[in-house]
């Protein structure tokens, strides 16, 4: 691993100032489960690594604010997967957090880090899209809230501006009852990168939100407001037509060695149908 300058700010403002000063030459270090691999293999060669774990404002926390559930940037997957409020109101997010890597990875990896890496295969992204999460970012110009669907650009690229740091992920109040589930495809049952990762949420008004990743350059959100998908009595052909529309943005890379495009596209449909059934069941039980 090449060497670098290591900064360990304790105040958010210091981190913002460092990030603004160094721009792309700086990398934020939260859990490190992606960054340290990249530092070692040389695909990231920052001059400055800014460790954000000692910043008071970013300490691990899951708190309720104005009806929202706010997950602090330092919060790790283990704590998200175990949190009663997340499990109750955003179960798909808890399920997604519970399958990110192994226990050791989940003990370090943060939700904010997972989001900021903007990996198309990020398992938490579909759940955040279905739940219409917002990314809270603080930068030189102050604080702004970015709807998660407007955050991802492509692998490794987000709409964060220079000097901006994600401080939290906000989940809006679960004002309408929703049944939601996260499903994925992997090459083995033990931990693995997903070849398809998908979340489906059906709410009490009949709206179905499906988000999926690992089938294109960024995770995709698609919504069916017609109520057809959520209606167990709707004809199969009608549902299939809607699924085709919802999955139209999937464009898996033929270069990937994890799965071929045709398999991913087929599995997207299998997972979509399975997730829809589970989501409807969960809504009924809610």
- Any contact of residue 13 with other proteins (CB under 8 A)? no
Kindly indicate which of the ranges 5-13, 57-65, 114-122, 199-207 contains the residues binding other proteins, using the contact rule CB under 8 A: 5-13
- The token duo for 269 is 């449909």
Q: If you ran DSSP here, which 8-state letter would residue 131 be given?
A: T
Angle at 195 between CA 39 and CA 208, to 5 degrees: 115
Q: Is the Cβ of residue 211 or residue 267 nearer to other proteins in the bound state?
A: 267
Given the structure tokens 């033929």, which residue do they identify?
254
215 lines the binding site for other proteins (CB under 8 A): no
Question: To which H or E segment does residue 181 belong?
Answer: strand 178-185
| Interface pick for other proteins out of 45, 104, 143, 147 (rule CB under 8 A) | 104
Q: Is 22 near other proteins (CB under 8 A)?
A: no
Q: Indicate which single residue of 20, 60, 61, 105 sits in contact with other proteins (rule: CB under 8 A).
A: 105
Q: How do 5-7 and 48-51 pair as beta strands?
A: parallel
Is-contact 138 12, C-beta < 8 A?
yes
The piece of 66-74, 188-196, 228-236, 240-248 that touches other proteins (CB under 8 A) is 188-196
Quote the Cα angle for 213-219-221, to 5°: 105
Closest to 164 in 3D by CA, of 116, 119, 219, 114:
116
Counting residues that bind other proteins (by CB under 8 A) gives 48
Q: CA distances (Å), 237 to each of 27, 83, 251, 261, 276, in order?
A: 49, 39, 23, 24, 15
Is 87 a binding residue for other proteins by CB under 8 A? The answer is no
- Shorter beta-carbon distance to other proteins: residue 4 or 226: 4
Rounded to an integer, what distance in angstroms lies between the CA atom of residue 211 and that of residue 223?
8
Q: Is 102 in the site for other proteins (CB under 8 A)?
A: yes
The yes or no reply on residue 101 touching other proteins (CB under 8 A) is yes
Q: Which is nearer to other proteins, 86 or 259 (CB)?
A: 259
Among 26, 28, 49, 169, contact with other proteins (rule: CB under 8 A): 49
- Which positions lie near other proteins, rule CB under 8 A? 1-10, 14, 18, 29, 32-33, 36-37, 39-40, 48-51, 53, 78, 101-105, 107-108, 185, 187-193, 257-260, 263, 266-267, 270
């Amino acid at each position: 691993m090449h060497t670098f300058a290591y900064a360990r700010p304790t105040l958010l403002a210091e981190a913002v100032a460092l990030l603004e000063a160094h721009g792309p030459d700086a990398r934020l270090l939260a859990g490190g489960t992606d960054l340290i691999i990249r530092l070692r293999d040389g695909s990231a060669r920052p001059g400055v690594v800014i460790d954000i774990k000692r910043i008071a404002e970013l300490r691990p926390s899951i708190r309720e604010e104005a009806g929202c559930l706010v997950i602090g940037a330092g919060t790790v997957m283990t704590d998200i997967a175990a949190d009663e409020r997340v499990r109750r109101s955003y179960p798909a997010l808890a399920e997604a957090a519970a399958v990110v890597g192994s226990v050791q990875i989940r003990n370090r990896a943060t939700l904010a880090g997972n989001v900021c890496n903007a990996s198309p295969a990020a398992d938490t992204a579909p759940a955040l899209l279905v739940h219409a999460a917002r990314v809270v970012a603080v930068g030189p110009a102050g604080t702004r809230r970015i709807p998660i669907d407007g955050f991802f650009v492509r692998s490794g690229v987000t709409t964060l501006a220079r000097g901006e740091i994600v401080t939290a992920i906000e989940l809006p109040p679960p004002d309408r009852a929703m049944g939601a589930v996260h499903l994925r495809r992997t090459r083995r049952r033990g931990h693995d990168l997903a070849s398809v990762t998908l979340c489906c949420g059906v709410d009490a008004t009949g709206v179905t939100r499906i988000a999926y990743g690992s089938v294109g350059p960024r995770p995709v959100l698609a919504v069916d407001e017609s109520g057809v998908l959520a209606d167990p009595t709707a004809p199969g052909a009608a549902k299939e037509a809607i699924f085709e529309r919802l999955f139209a943005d999937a464009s898996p890379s033929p270069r990937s060695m994890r799965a071929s495009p045709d398999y991913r596209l087929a599995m997207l449909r299998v997972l979509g149908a399975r997730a829809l059934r589970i989501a409807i069941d969960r809504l009924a039980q809610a």
